[in-house]
Amino acid sequence: MAVTLSEVLAHDVRHHADKVAVTLDDRGLTYAQLARSVEEARRFLAPHVGPGDRVALWLPNSFAWIAAFLALASLKAVSVPVNTRLTTSELAVILDDAEVRVVLADPAYRGRDYVAEACETRAARLPTVISASDASTPNGWTLARSGARPWVSSPMDAPDVFCIQYTSGTTSTPKGVMLTEALYLQTARHVVRCQMLTPNRSFMSAAPFFHCSGSMHAITCTLLAGCSLHSVTAWDPEYFLSLIARHRGETGHGVFFRDIVALGAEKARGPLSTMKVAYDIGGPDFVRRLHGEFGITGICNIYGMTETGGNFTMWFPDDDLDRRIVLNGRPQVGNRIRIVDPASGAVLGPDQQGEIQMKGATLTPGYYRRPEANAAAFTADGWFRSGDLGTLNADNELHFIARLRDIVRVGGENVSPVEVELAVQVVTGLKEFSVIGVPDPRLGEVVALVVLDAAADGDWKATQGELAKRLAGFKLPRHVYAAATMPMTATNKVQRATLQKWAREGRLRRIV
């Protein structure tokens, strides 16, 4: 019989009840205290939810979030994490799509009352709203509104689903990715092994719990390893550096590295002196800086997505440095990757570029109530189409290149926007910009750079000259545009398709 999160937590309590399980802004719970909080949450929620009921967690990083997530798993309900940046209109889309029966919301976080907003949200069926925060233990949670009665939840599209994570949707409305408890635990088990997490480790994470990087990599990995998780309720890079120093953080993952690098090695290297094992998803130059300038000797590049519960390929920190910086890792035992020609569907050989396709136990069973999306995402023989361009070498090591839909095709040459953006960042120091493809009468497409209005007065001719020292001619941005704002998803991804549309419509100001 499969192991559950409840059993993992019980094991932690038996072996190190008085050890710190998690701190948030330096407020902490031991494993025994966390277990009591989960049991309180379970008792509070049990009258309101049953197996298969969908429950939205519209909460910031908090003990309440962790307690609710683990309690719902034990009740066989389905957690639906919701980004705290979303508006009530965006919340309504998720409530309706997932048929959410209960919403847990925080009454006071960063100037917003999520309880009041949840009560005002216009959903097709009014869910129960519960006020939950760290102002009290779950015994102090309160019922803010009773939902529609009677309520019979539709059955899930797949068995054993315990979480629906909504993707950010850079080109379409969000889709609910169904994830199972077994998927989370198997993925986390491999991450724990690769990151060499043990009960005496301090694991640093600034990841929001409402993403897989928080709920799987931070929370689930911590429980499996029996280590101590140190996190924050809101992002502040200098404060987080102080926490790393205080807790002598040894292991982390790369949600926060870009902002810390921006602080400079002189300020960051001291606090990071104990951190030796970490993951990032970035270009080789950036990851190499984390190793050389910032002293994170066990830094590794990885690959994964919401549909894989987070990580799909990983490295060990003592793998060859060049490989773990340039490539994205190997799949765990039982998972497989193949590279396929996007046009013909033919399976390609080692080191040939094509679409990354995946198969294995740590893949989503599909998108909730999206038969068309599922048909498009899975091949007839059960492989998941990632939509990403990459290669696989003879040693089964993956190299992610770019999103297929983002690739700029310049006169027959494929250009990865990510590669160009890394060069632009090095040359200009800018943090907010994007690289897109725009139509060209001779070459079909050319590369274009979009910056914010505030950066528009730079010497872009000189910048192009510096970029020419780093990039082949066909990769150079031929045009530079200025935008009043960058269209972003809820997970802070630039919506390139929107920028391309604005460029076509003349809504961007041409600089070069």
Cβ proximity of 228 and 203 under 8 Å: yes
Look at residues 58, 169, 116, 69 and name the one whose alpha carbon lies nearest to residue 488.
169
The verdict on domain 36-180 having CATH code 3.40.50.980 is yes
CA distance 487 to 438: 17
Mean pLDDT, residues 91-115 taken together? 96
Q: Which residues have C-beta within 8 Å of that of residue 175, sequence separation ≥ 6?
A: 166, 167, 169, 367, 368, 370, 373
Question: For 215-302, where are the E strands, in sequence order?
Answer: 228-231, 251-253, 277-280, 298-301
At residue 103, the 3 state secondary structure works out as: strand
Per-residue model confidence as pLDDT tens digits over 145-199? 999 888 888 888 888 999 999 986 544 578 999 999 999 999 999 999 999 999 9
Look at residues 416, 418, 424, 412 and name the one whose alpha carbon lies nearest to residue 480.
424
Cis check for the bond before 271: say yes or no (omega within 30 of 0): no
The verdict on domain 407-510 having CATH code 1.10.3720.10 is no
Confidence (pLDDT) at 168: 61
Is residue 493 scored above 80 in pLDDT?
no
Give the model's confidence band at 255: pLDDT under 50 very low, under 70 low, under 90 confident, else very high: low
Confidence (pLDDT) at 414: 80
Cα–Cα distances (Å) from 467 to 268, 332, 447, 450, in that order, read: 28, 38, 13, 15
Q: Which residues have C-beta within 8 Å of that of residue 15, sequence separation ≥ 6?
A: 199, 226
DSSP character string of 424-446: HHHHH--SSEEEEEEEETTTEEE
Cβ proximity of 398 and 328 under 8 Å: yes
Cβ proximity of 232 and 65 under 8 Å: no
Mean pLDDT, residues 428-448 taken together? 91
Q: The whole model's pTM is what?
A: 0.87
- The domain limits of the chain are 36-180, 407-510
Q: Is 9 exposed, middle or buried (0-12, 13-18, 19+ CB in 10 A)?
A: buried
CA distance 438 to 447: 7
Mean pLDDT, residues 481-489 taken together? 90
* Share above pLDDT 70 across residues of the chain, in percent, rounded to a whole number: 98
CA distance 460 to 454: 13
Confidence (pLDDT) at 446: 94
Chain centroid to CA 76: 24
Look at residues 328, 493, 332 and name the one whose alpha carbon lies nearest to residue 400.
328
Question: How high is the mean pLDDT of the chain?
Answer: 93
CA distance 376 to 437: 25
Per-residue model confidence as pLDDT tens digits over 10-39? 999 999 999 999 999 989 999 999 999 999
Confidence (pLDDT) at 171: 45
Mean pLDDT, residues 196-215 taken together? 95
Look at residues 224, 226, 289 and name the one whose alpha carbon lies nearest to residue 254.
289
Instruction: Say which residue, 75 or 280, is predicted with more confidence.
Output: 75
Mean pLDDT, residues 273-286 taken together? 89
